Chain A
Amino acid sequence: MMSVIIFTLIIFIGAYFAGLLGSLTGLGGGFVIIPLLTLLLKVDIHYAIGASLVSVIATSSGSAAAYVREGITNIRLGMFLEIATTAGAMAGALLAVYIPTNFIAILFGVILITSAVMSLRKKAELIHQEKNLLAEKLKLNGSFPTANGPVAYSVKNVGGGFFMMLFAGVISGLLGIGSGALKVLAMDTIMRIPFKVSTTTSNFMIGVTAAASAVVYLQRGYIDPGLSMPVAIGVLLGALSGSKILVHTTSSGWLRWVFAIVVTFLASQMIYNGFAGKI
């Protein structure tokens, strides 16, 4: 058996790369860290979920701080949808106790593949400006700064988006990931919000969503300090490096493909081990 110091060092290095890849692709660090911990290091999936949640809060809060100041994040939209994500996250965390671990592993694999496929989609920047009564009542419409001055946008299908966020919250609470891809899907595809706004607002919501389930996991003893420490520090530092690299590179197209192959491999391993009952 490995000593604590070697184990911590391996996790730290792994978490750093998980954070780096998660930030470069926009999928988040949890997607790599949970398979790394459970499949490679044979960590119990409950501990892995707890540690991942902690790292999710660290990275999303850290990057949200920067985005909020730039004025791209739609705070009201985020606040409104947080009703759905926190309620979902609470339900997910409570459900997690009753769901067999091998089912959680299979679900993790399925969500991982779905998210990877969605991140490969071509993103067309669409500005929707049709009026929507509910969106206007809830003051969800906004504008964001661009090189050519502020651009106004409207929000579509508020109910559908809210429902999708409920689902994103359940997944986040159940699997210990940020489920950023699902949040972006809800805002991007269903609510027709400009991509820049949906990604930053999703990021803004992830911390609160994760906190809503983390309070449950904390009391259930899923969040182990010895394990969470290298995971949180590693993922955060990796994500910081990733955001620095992103500023300097114009095309991350090839990176997305590399990541898609990596996640497909990880996802199939999680699903296989789930069905084999080895997790």
Chain B
Amino acid sequence: MSRFKDTDMQAVIGWILRLGVLLSMSIIFIGGIIYLYRHGHIPANYHTFKGVPDFVHSTHGILNGIITLRGRAIIQAGIILLIATPVIRVVFSAIGFILEKDYMYTGITILVLLIITASMLSGHAG
């Protein structure tokens, strides 16, 4: 195998972003159709903040909701995949920098991943 170059990384990153957006938006769309089919007639109320329903707020609830074909659980799964897409891109950048033997940028990339992880954990605590 020839050496991994910046242009290879560009191709991989472009591919991940495209696939992630396409896949997650398709899931959101399918979930949306089910949600509208089942709940389209009830009144919409977003006037006061009351968080989200329990079944879209935990991994367990979302997985359960997907199995039982609950529209909003499927949408939420798609949204989580969409949020994960740029993060997965960062993970692949780290791998790319390792392959390029660019250790400074491997470190910088891992630092970004650590910040996102810290953010995830701090949100959980709050």
Contact = CB atoms under 8 A, between A and B. Distances in A.
B67 interface: no
Contact of B25 (A71, A79, A232): A232
A197 interface: no
Interface of B: 6-7, 9-11, 13-15, 17-18, 20-21, 24-25, 28-29, 31-32, 35-36, 39-49, 51-52, 56-57, 71-73, 75-76, 79-80, 82-87, 89-90, 93, 102, 104-105, 108-109, 111-112, 115-116, 118-120, 122-124, 126
Contacts, number: 209
B25 A233 contact: yes
A216 B42 contact: no
A1 B104 contact: no
Contact of A87 (B9, B17, B57, B115): B115
B10 A83 contact: no
A4 B80 contact: no
A223 B52 contact: yes
A47 interface: yes
**What does DSSP make chain A's interface, helix, strand, loop or mixed?**
helix
A217 B6 CA distance: 34
B109 to A, nearest CB: 6
Given A3-B44, A218-B83, 15 more contacts: A1-B43, A46-B49, A62-B18, A68-B10, A71-B10, A76-B105, A86-B119, A90-B122, A207-B17, A208-B87, A211-B83, A215-B120, A220-B51, A225-B31, A236-B21
Given A1-B44, A65-B18, A219-B124, A86 B6 contact: no
A263 interface: no
B29 A233 contact: yes
Interface stretch (A53-61, A104-112, A248-256): A53-61
